[in-house]
Structure 1
């Protein structure tokens, strides 16, 4: 393919806008509600138990090392290709293409799962508030329509919407968590034990298993880099946004985890058995009731909408960057004349996801609720998680290479080394947990990497 003409991305975004993109990409409300039980019980009941806060804190420190590697690259790169551009700079164009394809494939998979989640939550919320059943697939298509409307109006409107959702939802859920802590009689015991491996029966081994799930609570911070071309001062704002997102989310996760533990006390099994513990607490008359539960459900749904909006923004700009380099057809690099929005990437992403929702609906039939797509959800989520870890690991290796070059930073090498070891360890745990059809996920990743490697082979004279 020949190099694509560069479409112009337009925007004058500041630090708050970039933080909104990064924070929304993480999906803090959804992560806090869904991942705390997974960290607690891990795989087959082998998890961190009452030491969930310890896992969250360790994961934050390790991901801070990864974030500092990304920040180091962001200070040098002003293009929106994120990881693809970083690895192209450090490991070469071929490696950048291979891992760039894996990264954006993982981002697309996460976007699809976010859309399915939105549909399932919308159906649950409609049933809870009105008593009428909303088909999950109709909720998913409605979420896609809202994302399309947001991103088509330009980047400024999209990130301002994300910022508003983040501030309101984090504030509401944070206040509720603080209220639970104040009211709970178990707070002193939980506060003492929550940061100790001995807080559950499996000790340090259980903490390590829980840590493999806690890692994914921070996935998405790297989405800030996709706004490099639309930011007023990208080499300053983007690194700050990445690091700030890790710490803000860590503090929020600790608050919500302690709140869940404070109610369920030392019985980690009860906590792990809750799919969404904060929503269960909101329904409890001691802490809330139907109105509070409805508010938290609304905040969760809005958070997922912001998360998939952030995903669409990052993916569209990544595909645009790949097209500029000739990896994808030139049409992917074109932007709208009025607002500078990537046209074909958004159409392909949103249209393809809508088509997949229709395929799942047809394949599974009129099965109600999440049961109809859960098998697809788990497989796609496993693919997204594994390839995100691979992409982070590759970036850390690239950061170590950059740190060893003349003028390289010792801090970059140190953080890259920590990030490489940490991500490799979690990759190992993730591979060990695969079962059934999920065992095909690594094979699909390898095949995708081989396609990228073959596509970037040197031309023969």
Structure 2
């Protein structure tokens, strides 16, 4: 959909839209283009990081057929992205999940959902930073010890903080570099491995190679769902920076959709390339190769080529951590701007020089560093920590989808510049059904280990939800922001249509 308006007219329309929602729109600089917004979402979703982080774990868990989880999850999350596109087009404000759930349902609902989502993002930042340790160790030719993982993770978090403090221009620039690294590392290398270095038949994608032992493979396959579920969130980051994007009501929905499509194809190509090029695929599935990606790279590219590619991979990890940290800080800022958190005045402070939420960025760095020390003490918990992050993300996502469906049933017809029209209800129901199944798979306990090992994801969720409910009941933070609307999707849609009609008449 083209926009025939002049830049000044478009800027005035964006300002009027924000003011109609109860925000001044003066806190951020609108310096992020469509390409930069796609880059931010793509580097947050980061197929390269997703594939590299869980390649060995997922193959050992479910064998080569786990690649089909990329297709399944990609299709499901595409439906979610369509719903998010409608919502952000009507509510193009910073913070994403929080303002969306507030305006679609209410303050209490939004507070609880956002509390869960904040922790999900903070834990995800930690997981990605931790997974980067193995690649730094391989590049430097040193053993991948717990100490190396801790130092690397903290280093990635501090480096991302420095970039984020430099402002939106720097965030966009590094995100574009990260996108280039992702495309080079995923598509270019994936094609090279598929065409020139294939060591296995395509039939392996239908061969479990003994994964799961004597158990029915269908159950084994369900247990390996994390292989796909970890790869397909991050597109919502495109909406977290809505007040920093030009023409957000049109560009952000497009950016979300393109992030899913390009990210899904990239992840599929990369995962397939590594499986088909693995000279020791049986050992990887058996769990006898602790660093399969490096070994595949060395056998396919040689020593120098593998080192160069590890530099590309580490660049992608830096960009992913940067995007996650930026998205988390915007959510914390949006939450604090409405005085919904302890220390809201401090958390909502903006850097006058760089127009970024400086104190929220500090929190988005310090808390993951603390979690890194937990992973250092209990390194075997990293996959479960990752599982908690993914589950909490899916809960937040489906809270938006559920709230949107509730408003539709009450008569809401999205009034943003981008919407699904008559297909909205069908897509909304399908997205919710997909999300419920995904959450069941994520919370399903493991089959081995102690009680804590099997239920740590559910226990972590109960702790986060319990502390959130306790604070909400005692402090009642949801009562602190009467000036901003809640549950007003239908009313805002009507207002936007009237504004659009008045503007048309003035022409």
Which of 251, 261, 282 is residue 297 of structure 2 equivalent to? 282
For 2:58 and 2:249, how far apart are their aligned partners in 1? 35
What's the C-alpha RMSD, in Å, of the aligned pairs? 3.2
Which residue number corresponds to residue 124 of structure 2? 110
Is it true that 1:448 corresponds to 2:456 in the alignment? no
Which residue number corresponds to residue 369 of structure 1? none
Do 2:79 and 2:430's aligned partners in 1 also have CA atoms closer than 8 Å?
A: yes
Is it true that 1:18 corresponds to 2:20 in the alignment? no
The secondary structure found in structure 2 opposite 1:221 is coil
Which of 374, 383, 387 is residue 388 of structure 2 equivalent to? 383
Superposed, 1:300-319 pairs within 5 Å as 300-319=313-332
Which residue number corresponds to residue 75 of structure 1? 89
Do 1:162 and 1:306's aligned partners in 2 also have CA atoms closer than 8 Å?
A: yes
Do 1:39 and 1:214's aligned partners in 2 also have CA atoms closer than 8 Å?
A: no
For 2:151 and 2:367, how far apart are their aligned partners in 1? 16
> 1:330-375: per-residue Cα shift (whole Å, max 9, x none)?
2222211122111111122223444555x559xx6xxxxxxx5514
Which of 281, 293, 305 is residue 292 of structure 1 equivalent to? 305
Which residue number corresponds to residue 334 of structure 1? 349
> C-alpha displacement at 1:93, in angstroms?
1.3
> C-alpha displacement at 1:251, in angstroms?
0.9
Is it true that 1:33 corresponds to 2:52 in the alignment? yes
Relative to 1, partners in 2 of residues 1:321 and 1:118: Cα closer, same or farther, differing over 3 Å? same
Do 2:225 and 2:441's aligned partners in 1 also have CA atoms closer than 8 Å?
A: no
Gaps of 5+ in 1: 365-371
Do 2:48 and 2:185's aligned partners in 1 also have CA atoms closer than 8 Å?
A: no
> C-alpha displacement at 1:184, in angstroms?
4.2
Relative to 1, partners in 2 of residues 1:146 and 1:5: Cα closer, same or farther, differing over 3 Å? same
Gaps of 5+ in 2: 1-21, 414-420, 480-507
> 1:274-316: per-residue Cα shift (whole Å, max 9, x none)?
55543321111xx211112212222221111111100111111
Do 2:181 and 2:315's aligned partners in 1 also have CA atoms closer than 8 Å?
A: no
Is it true that 1:414 corresponds to 2:433 in the alignment? no
Superposed, 1:397-412 pairs within 5 Å as 397-408=402-413, 409-412=421-424
The secondary structure found in structure 2 opposite 1:219 is coil
For 2:155 and 2:232, how far apart are their aligned partners in 1? 26
Which residue number corresponds to residue 368 of structure 1? none
Bigger Cα Rg: 2
> C-alpha displacement at 1:257, in angstroms?
2.0
> C-alpha displacement at 1:193, in angstroms?
6.2
Do 2:226 and 2:387's aligned partners in 1 also have CA atoms closer than 8 Å?
A: no
Which residue number corresponds to residue 493 of structure 2? none
Which residue number corresponds to residue 155 of structure 1? 168
The secondary structure found in structure 2 opposite 1:9 is coil
For 2:478 and 2:243, how far apart are their aligned partners in 1? 29
Superposed, 1:64-103 pairs within 5 Å as 64-103=78-117
Which residue number corresponds to residue 223 of structure 1? 237
Moved more, 166-175 or 71-80: 166-175
Relative to 1, partners in 2 of residues 1:132 and 1:350: Cα closer, same or farther, differing over 3 Å? closer
> C-alpha displacement at 1:137, in angstroms?
3.4
Do 2:126 and 2:369's aligned partners in 1 also have CA atoms closer than 8 Å?
A: no
The secondary structure found in structure 1 opposite 2:224 is helix
Which residue number corresponds to residue 70 of structure 2? 56
> C-alpha displacement at 1:414, in angstroms?
2.0
Which residue number corresponds to residue 18 of structure 2? none
> 1:19-52: per-residue Cα shift (whole Å, max 9, x none)?
111011112212112334444343xxxx2x3323
Superposed, 1:232-247 pairs within 5 Å as 232-247=246-261
> C-alpha displacement at 1:385, in angstroms?
1.8
Do 2:284 and 2:292's aligned partners in 1 also have CA atoms closer than 8 Å?
A: no
> 1:67-102: per-residue Cα shift (whole Å, max 9, x none)?
111111111112112111111111211101100110
For 1:40 and 1:375, how far apart are their aligned partners in 2? 17
> 1:181-213: per-residue Cα shift (whole Å, max 9, x none)?
2234556x40x663x699988555444433343
The secondary structure found in structure 1 opposite 2:92 is coil
Which residue number corresponds to residue 423 of structure 1? 435
Which residue number corresponds to residue 500 of structure 2? none
Relative to 1, partners in 2 of residues 1:58 and 1:144: Cα closer, same or farther, differing over 3 Å? closer
Q: Normalized against structure 2, the TM-score is what?
A: 0.77
Do 1:88 and 1:95's aligned partners in 2 also have CA atoms closer than 8 Å?
A: yes
